Structure 1
Amino acid sequence: MKHFLLSVAFLTICSFAHGQNSENNNLTNANKELLKELEQQEQNRLARIQSYLLLNPNTVITNKDELKFSRLYDIVDNRPIYKSTDNLEAGRATKTNQLLPGGSLNLNLDGTGMTVGVWDGGIVQDTHPEFADASGTTTRITLSDSGAEFSDHGTHVAGTIGAKGVNPNALGMAPNVNIKSYDWTNDEAEMVSAVTAAVNPIIISNHSYGVPVEQDEGTLDAWWMGAYTQDSYDIDNIAKNNPQYLIVTSAGNSGTVSYTGGLYAGYDKLTTDKNAKNNLVVANANPTTGEQPIFSGNYELTNLVINTGSSQGPTDDLRIKPDIAADGSNLLSPIPTDGYATYSGTSMASPNTAGTLLLLQEYYFQLNNAYMNSSTLKGLVCHTSIDDIATMGPDPIFGWGFLDAKTSAEAILDASNSNAVISELNMAQNQTYTYTFSAQAGDKLIATLCWTDMPANSISNGTLNDATPRLVNDLDLRLTKDGTTYFPWKLDYSSSTGFSNSKGDNTVDNVEKIEIDAPTAGVYTLTVTHKGTLKGTAIPVFGPQTQDYSLIVTGNNLSLSTNENTLSEDLVIYPNPNKGDFTINFGNNIDNSVKVSVIDTRGRIVYKNTYSKNSTQFNAAINLGEVESGIYIVNITQGNNKTSQKIIIE
């Protein structure tokens, strides 16, 4: 009877592993090879579990209570390792609500037409009213793993991303997004299939689970924490093969767990895929917001602290992880059966982030007719994140800072109107990229470089605090002005005093961020270079390769070309704010007609006209007619000169 039960248990595990929905995939050759590798790894893992269970038939396979679900994940050094869910008013804190219908930015984003992948300890209750489509007749959930049971945790996570707001307090970040729901078993192979699917491919996925520091039989061996393992390598490989796909994962809830042998007491708690380079790892913050001014509907952070349960980084090679923090404390969301519950943890911070990122991709697509690469999206949210109160600059608790959806969306709009830079470029061997722009004193000047790096050349397997650098292609970002060179942030470490940060040559991170708190007005030069020989997968693989990368630059009154300066230096638009009637005035010394267009924040043209040269002074009264209140962009072009100005319609 004991062997029969053991066989049933093992077959149950296998059924989860091979329950992947068969999709019609557009697999590249690289993804076909990767899929074979991942499936072989899964078979090897299952074989290790089967062999162990035959010798240890009383081993617990699954554990479940009200909030936490654990399942036997692997056997390492003859020891069972378990994977568990990461458990312990989010949209307001991250300002995602300002992107939603009715939000202050008038973007009316809701995830329509987009699909997100959700891997969790079980599948989502697809019939929950919160997941109905706009008509209320069809679910937005696709169940991609047959045989799995509805999961409280998985349903709550999916609701944080995409609940439609039947209960207004449970409104998700992207309330009309389509969701593909998977059990976490065989997740890596399923991710490759989902991102390459011919129908509704995903470009963002959420993973609110991992290997906790504290296991059923005590804490993990110390070498696990911060280590670049096979899972880290696999995640980096999947991301490298699929440049638009961003994998969002929870940091874990081991923040209060202690163990011996880490880099420093109270730190070094990230495990397995949390130590990859190309994903976005999210910590759990516990912010407080206040309506400012009262009754305005505008909520601002009044206090920002980390939830003590959130797992701290960094990685063993001192990369800045987690990447960012978001609100995951006390989130109300759907659970089976048609119910609701309030949970906290990085499991909630991660889907809060994933849903917000879907809206940013939706907005970028509206303005550019294309989605951002994952390195652009990751770089953008790191670029616009809010520093925590305790530490200026990055740290191993908040990462680069707290998610700020509003500032990210404003940067996307500014870039579309030449008031900021969001660029996707390619670095060739021995190339130096140079970009010159002018900025005014005032707002902080920030430049961020981000790239999807090759998987590391080796993985950790039992070496304590293995500091081997995992960065393969080391790109470098610098800003210079008047003989002064500004360097990016980097993390510093002392075994006696712990972690701090400074500015200098960052040789470990694939996110580099330069911040000038009090810039002086003038011309700045940005350069991107690289060290050594660039590695890649192009044939021949042993020759120099190229590396894609993303650049984000924001600041006060940026002028991104010299042509803009001559047109904008005496430009006046008045009154501003206005009610749709305003005047444009500037010196008209060039013998060319003037083109004027006005667009809203969704990229729609609400006014367009061409004016012939009429005098030495251009003066035009504009009437927009009946338009909604909000922010608009006035684009003015005269010959090769162009500029853009924001106006506010009251």
Structure 2
Amino acid sequence: LTVAENPGGIYTWTKSGSTTPLSNNRTLKVTQTGTYIVDVLACAGQFSAKDSVVVDVEPAPTAVIQSVGATTVCKGQGSVSLTATGQTGATFKWDNGSTGTFRNVNTDSVHTFDYFCYSYNACGDSTISNKIKVIVNDIPVAPTISHSQGVYTASSTTAHWFYKLKGTTVWKDAGIQAKIYTPTNLSVGDSVAAREKENDCFSVYSNAELFGSIGISNVNNPDAELGIYPNPNNGVFFLSFSEINSMNVELSIRNMIGQEVLQKSMDLNGNHIEEIDLSSVESGFYMLTVSNGEQRYTRRVVIQ
């Protein structure tokens, strides 16, 4: 603040509400908002004058940004929200030129970037905020799986295994990460699948395989499957037929000397589970044959 020069003048600056002199010079540098008063005496005190001015000191700009939630995410899974705070009345300009308190970081592309913003006060002064690193990781490729006799094998050595109970829609984590998975708690009609995981990002699910199925084909539907579970068993087990349409089949089970212990005709259409009860036969190895008149499939059943 500066007052006009008066030859031989005496200047006294004070702040409203206080009688303590702040300066006896023509100029006064202020750093606080308030009303400032200057008293001037001139001509050996024969003349006096007083004036005042209201000063609004704009605070220096400050800027701090924070994330709302995680800053390491997977591609395509939501967005990362950033929020800026600063001095009263601050305006913010982000690194991409957008303005405002909030910024959403798109996760549609894989990238790593340090995000920041500038804070401005009413005087046009500015400062830069801290930086927040956002990492968007790629989604790994899903594995493929196959199975044989209740043992499931993935194309990846680090596959995470999941199962889905028959009649449900929710996949459950089996808690197994390996190339090979041998489930012990599933029943015929349940499903098995796998996912890959990299940088905390899961792939989509692999192809799903029915538990207990052996993967045989038939002339009516190459995707048809026959499952035997459990095997070995105590004489009571299940046959699971899936994706079989209008297939008339003959079922025969014989002991190791060729004696037939069970013969059954079945008309199948779509998915079907058949319970087999051989609890009255002796323990040992038995040969199960399924025939549709054009093709025959033979599997070994172990009764303990």
TM-score, normalization: structure 1? 0.15
Choose between structure 1 and 2 for higher RCO, CA contacts under 8 A separated by at least 6 residues.
1
Q: If each structure's strand is expressed as a fraction of its own residues, which one has the higher value?
A: 2
Judging by fraction of residues, say which structure has more helix: 1
Bigger CA radius of gyration: 2
TM-score, normalised with respect to structure 2:
0.27
